[in-house]
Structure 1
Amino acid sequence: MHVPDGFINAPVSAVAGVVAAGAVAVSLRGARRELGGTPPGFAGGTPARAEGFGGERTAPLAGLVAAFIFAVQMLNFPVAAGTSGHLLGGALAAILVGPWTGVLCIAVVLLMQGILFADGGLTALGVNITVMGVVTVVVAYALFRGLVLVLPRTRRSVTVASFAAALVSVPAAAAAFTLVYAIGGTTDVPLSKVLTAMVGVHVLIGIGEAVITMLTVGAVVAVRPDLVYGARGLTAPLKLRVDGELVDAAEPAPVAAAGSPKKLWIGGVVTALVLAGFVSFYASASPDGLEKVAADKGIDAKVEEHAAAGSPLADYGVKDVDNARLSGGLAGAIGVGVTLAVGTGAFWVVRGRRRTSREATTA
């Protein structure tokens, strides 16, 4: 659903850019809390206790989530005749590392795709962050939290809630694009036709998104539930009676057999590289949902050439490498590496500010 340049007029694109910048700024503040390890619903205790929820491990894992989403977005899957879809990733990021950090993950992915791979217009970057990042994260995480509050407090409930949240987030993003198009579309196409076509095809894409999100969240929850932001705080802490008073027992260490965060990180990086560098070659070549609707309804009549069309990595291929498999594989691997480096570095900076602020407050 990467919106190219020319679909939305300049004034509305500028306003969307301001909205996206504001959302990123607010998310930076919220991400400091998430990267500091504070779990959902944590309303007391010491900073040291909050750190027990995985704060020291969240920054590199957030970078990994961004790289993984970049890789999986290269895997277009068929959803209808002549139409494909791909992961948006807002639900996955929000559940794994938190909603504020999730918005930043998607923003990093979209920025790398726009600058390096000419995927998603640069003037439309604000539209893309707002639609694919903010809307998907807000809708998905709100639904996810609502479901885990009413479902039994089990790991299975987390995976079920992640499926539902991801499923709904995709057509919600399609509806959000339609609203933006209604305000600032550059072509005269009946709004009802755009809405029906966009939501219809993205419901199908949402099913694929839901399956990918559920499987990924389920895999991580199975081995390290303490590293899944959305799964924290679901179990009441063990209480011990000391001198007649109930106190919280120390958090048990993760089972050794489950693997260390380092092993999980390495496994995630290898998986992302395999998906982007090898599996992506077999992805569907059909246009994605937005491209198909745009071509069928005439939304793309005024599409503009991408400003980064001359990039050595444009269209997910390495310039001057003639072998299509090698060219695409190298481009995918480079994309994973750059997204991982930029994302991890940014999240470490955000976490460093959180730590500095907390130390100053303590002093």
Structure 2
Amino acid sequence: MHVPDGFLDVTTSVATGVAAAAVVGVALRRAREEVAETTAAAPMAGLVASFVFAVQMLNFPVGVGTSGHLMGGALAAVLVGPWTGLLAVTVVVVLQALLFADGGVTALGTNVLLIAVVTALVGYAVAKGAMAVLPKRPASAVPAAALGALVSVPATALVFVGLYAVGGAAPLDLGQLTTFMLGWHVVIGIGEAVITALTVGAVVATRPDLVRLVRRYRTSLVVTAADGTSREVTAGDTPVAEGVRRIGMGWVAGALGVVLVLAGLVSSVASADPDGLEYVAEQLGFLETAEDSAVAGSPFGDYAVVGIDNPVLATGLAGVLGVALVLLVMVAIARLAAGRRARPQGSRETERV
């Protein structure tokens, strides 16, 4: 649901830009607690952001002539926290607009508000509410995250309808717009829920301690002291960050490898059909109000490197470049948000991974 330039008037676009900037500013402050908990937080935030970027390249068909793609806010929030997750998707949206001409430049605030803010905060709130009634164990994060993802997509569609009611570029029957947007985005939300469940399930199965939504629940870990002795601790019952926690280079390499395969290879088989918003705009007759992005001539526009004739190679290289940039920028932001972490006193235990 990347809104192009022209769908909303200038006043509304400016207002959404101001609102998005204000929320991102709050997120930078609130994310400090989330990313300062463990040294694994910054690389995990970078991996999550790069994964969202890669999977957003993979449009999946949802109907005749229509496609959808992951928005990722609920997924990111469940894994790294709502504020860090919001920042992760914001980085994705900003780089998409400025380098890949995906979403309008004047509509950047609108897209951050819709794709990052609404999905992360709504998705996390729903997932956290679900955890209140589900069994208190890490595996419960999978259905909780799926539900959060499912709800976040139509919620975002409704926010778009509200913005269009205030400053839409063309007169429309708002009831019809609401029906179309909700109808298609509920279906897209099912795809979002499936992708989110599979991803969270994979992390829970391998490193449940990295899933922030369930870090308070019982997760057995083995930590090794400097003298070589080991003991088991329980996340939530014991301060797991007694020493320096590490994410593990093997786990990072595996996760990054999956991301690169998705962006560099699988992206070439993504559906070319218009996404839900574009399809609705075409059906209701306001697609012609869309304007070309100011960076439409980017050498990486439309996720293809200019000058490379092979479309698979052109898309793959653009995807790999995007993954690298998103990863680096998000890790830098996470470390900046965390500030200087005070080193724990006493034990210098590190987690065995």
Unaligned runs of 5+ in 2: 222-236, 346-353
Shift of 1:250: 6.5
**Which residue of the other structure, out of 168, 189, 192, is the alignment partner of 2:172?**
189
Instruction: Name the counterpart of 1:19.
Output: 19
Instruction: Name the counterpart of 2:349.
Output: none
CA contact 2:138–2:217 (8 Å) conserved in 1: no
CA contact 2:78–2:211 (8 Å) conserved in 1: yes
Instruction: Name the counterpart of 2:5.
Output: 5
Unaligned runs of 5+ in 1: 38-54, 239-247, 254-258
AA partner of residue 274 (structure 1)? V
Aligned partners of 1:299 and 1:60: how far apart in 2? 41
**Which residue of the other structure, out of 292, 313, 338, is the alignment partner of 1:351?**
338
1:60-116 CA-partner distances (Å, limit 9, x unpaired): 110111011000000000001100000000000000000000110111000110011
- TM-score normalised over the length of structure 2: 0.89
Q: How does 1:103-182 map to 2 (within 5 A)?
A: 103-182=86-165
**Which residue of the other structure, out of 290, 304, 307, is the alignment partner of 1:320?**
307
Instruction: Name the counterpart of 2:226.
Output: none
AA partner of residue 87 (structure 1)? L
Look up the SS of the partner of 1:84 in the other structure.
strand
AA partner of residue 68 (structure 2)? G
Look up the SS of the partner of 2:334 in the other structure.
helix
Instruction: Name the counterpart of 1:299.
Output: 286
Aligned partners of 2:249 and 2:146: how far apart in 1? 27
AA partner of residue 332 (structure 2)? G
- TM-score normalised over the length of structure 1: 0.86
CA spacing shift, 1:189–1:249, aligned 2, 3 Å? closer
CA contact 1:187–1:301 (8 Å) conserved in 2: no
2:326 is equivalent to residue 339 of structure 1: yes
Shift of 1:16: 0.3
Instruction: Name the counterpart of 2:61.
Output: 78
Look up the SS of the partner of 1:79 in the other structure.
strand
CA contact 2:139–2:204 (8 Å) conserved in 1: no
Q: How many residues align?
A: 327
CA contact 1:237–1:249 (8 Å) conserved in 2: no
Instruction: Name the counterpart of 1:245.
Output: none
Shift of 1:249: 5.5
Aligned partners of 1:237 and 1:79: how far apart in 2? 40
Please, what is the CA RMSD of the aligned residues?
Answer: 2.2
Aligned partners of 1:252 and 1:8: how far apart in 2? 47
Q: How does 1:208-287 map to 2 (within 5 A)?
A: 208-235=191-218, 251=240, 261-287=248-274
Q: How does 1:32-71 map to 2 (within 5 A)?
A: 32-37=32-37, 55-71=38-54
CA contact 1:31–1:100 (8 Å) conserved in 2: yes
Shift of 1:184: 0.6
1:121-166 CA-partner distances (Å, limit 9, x unpaired): 0100111111111111111111111111111112331111111111
Shift of 1:236: 9.3
AA partner of residue 123 (structure 2)? A
AA partner of residue 85 (structure 1)? G
Aligned partners of 1:269 and 1:84: how far apart in 2? 26
Look up the SS of the partner of 1:30 in the other structure.
helix
Aligned partners of 1:3 and 1:264: how far apart in 2? 35
CA contact 2:208–2:219 (8 Å) conserved in 1: no
Aligned partners of 1:118 and 1:347: how far apart in 2? 25
Aligned partners of 1:236 and 1:269: how far apart in 2? 24
Instruction: Name the counterpart of 2:31.
Output: 31
Aligned partners of 2:238 and 2:298: how far apart in 1? 56
